[in-house]
Structure 1
Amino acid sequence: MKKLATLGLLLLSVSGAALADARADLQKKLATFERFSASFSQQVFDERGEPMQSAGGTMELSRPDRFRWHTQVPDESLIVSNGTDVWMYDPFVEQVTIVPLAEAVLNTPFLLIAGSDGHRWQQYDVSRQGDAYVVKSRNAAELIKEFSLTFDRQNRIERFVVIESGGQRSEFSLSEVDTSPTFQAGRFQFNPPSGVMIDDQR
């Protein structure tokens, strides 16, 4: 019994070290670029794996914590982070919601890839599954259950998958990837159009 207990502790220790190594490796890969832009195509599946819809748009980031996610089809929406606050704009209902960055990360973990705060990653477990890095939150209340990232041979993100707590899965494929884009001043600020309802939750 004592030998079994010792073996169990050893396995837990090895597992914990592997998770820490995977997290450090992922952070190292993400730190190789300060700026990033790409076009994305998205396929959404329900909890049974049945296709629901397709979407497409662009993503841009600039460290630390500045992020712009623009869905263009089939319906337009925009998420913009200036490093402190996050705007979530829905043109169809003419409303923008503003939340602090720390709160937005809970529901939009993509913001982790634009961050440079190592402490934020301590709330997530990272493992390797084949070529993918799988990130799981330790907070069961988060909307996103897990997401995974896959890199190409140039260490550029080429694909990621998001699984929500209800089982819905979104698969994203990236193209036109640029790890040294030039952004105009104000690219990561959002000024609501006239007449838009503002829900400021800061």
Structure 2
Amino acid sequence: MKKFLVSTLLMFAAAAASAQTAVDTLKDFVRDVKSGRAEFTQTVTSPDGAKKKTSSGKFEFSRPNRFRFTYLKPFEQVIVADGQKVWIYDADLNQASSRKFSQALGATPAALLAGGSLEKDFDLAAQPAKDGLDWVEATPKAKEGSFKSVRVGFKGKTLSAIEVVDAFNQRSLLQFSQFVANEPIKAETFVFTVPKGADLIEQ
């Protein structure tokens, strides 16, 4: 009985240590990783789990407040934050839109990567390890928003996944591969020029 109690306590202690490490890993990432690039696959699942949409592309960011998602499949789309505005361009529609950075982000998942105030905007809680990753849940402190929660998954110290549940219980999973931290990225990567002939919607 004593052995069982001791082993159980050790398991809880190990889990607690792992949980603390996962939260610290996210804090360290936000503090220490100033830029990076990766490839990604995004899977969006409907609230009932019945429908799934998959897309893929490249992701780059540079703190503070600059990032670029380039969707390549199945449709071409670009999302660029240049530090002042967030631009979205849909190649099929030949349509671009823009919003002020502060309005577009706030306490959103992108703020985690772009240099938002992590502990000011989010409550952090470690989650059980799953699929070989250590997970942290970040719940926005703001009561009104476009999403309920975001989970960030790390493999060791490497960012591997972000899972977002929006206000309609739609789930979006971004899985990163070939992530390179603190990679020098050219400033023009985060400059968006509206293509000739494209419609522009400014909000």
Do the two structures share a fold, i.e. TM-score over 0.5? yes
Q: Which residue of 1 aligns with 2:167?
A: 165
CA distance 1:123–1:54, shift in 2 (3 Å): same
Give the secondary-structure state (helix, strand or coil) at the position aligned to 2:195: coil
**1:144-199 superposed Cα distances (whole Å, 9 cap, x missing partner):** 2111111112x120111111110110112111111132323311010010011111
**Count of matched residue positions in the alignment of Structure 1 and Structure 2:** 179
Give the secondary-structure state (helix, strand or coil) at the position aligned to 1:142: coil
Give yes or no for the alignment of 1:41 onto 2:41. yes
**Residue of structure 1 aligned with 2:123, choices 125, 146, 155:** 125
Q: Which ranges of structure 2 fall in alignment gaps of 5 or more residues?
A: 1-20, 129-133
Between the aligned partners of 1:25 and 1:42, the Cα distance in structure 2 is: 23
Give yes or no for the alignment of 1:97 onto 2:100. no
Q: Which amino acid aligns with 1:81?
A: A
Q: Which residue of 1 aligns with 2:110?
A: 110
**1:115-135 superposed Cα distances (whole Å, 9 cap, x missing partner):** 1x53x6413211111221111
**Residue of structure 1 aligned with 2:191, choices 189, 192, 201:** 189
Between the aligned partners of 1:150 and 1:142, the Cα distance in structure 2 is: 22
CA contact (8 A) 1:136 1:147 kept: yes
Between the aligned partners of 1:139 and 1:36, the Cα distance in structure 2 is: 28
**1:14-53 superposed Cα distances (whole Å, 9 cap, x missing partner):** xxxxxxx986662222222111100001111110122421
Deviates most, 121-130 or 61-70: 121-130
CA contact (8 A) 2:22 2:135 kept: no
**Residue of structure 1 aligned with 2:153, choices 137, 150, 158:** 150
TM-score by structure 2 length?
Answer: 0.80
TM-align CA RMSD: 2.2
CA distance 1:25–1:159, shift in 2 (3 Å): closer
TM-score by structure 1 length?
Answer: 0.80
Between the aligned partners of 2:92 and 2:183, the Cα distance in structure 1 is: 30
Give yes or no for the alignment of 1:137 onto 2:140. yes
Between the aligned partners of 1:160 and 1:48, the Cα distance in structure 2 is: 20
Q: Which ranges of structure 1 fall in alignment gaps of 5 or more residues?
A: 1-20
CA contact (8 A) 2:23 2:126 kept: no
CA distance 1:27–1:162, shift in 2 (3 Å): same
Between the aligned partners of 2:42 and 2:155, the Cα distance in structure 1 is: 18
Between the aligned partners of 2:79 and 2:119, the Cα distance in structure 1 is: 21
Q: Which residue of 2 aligns with 1:6?
A: none
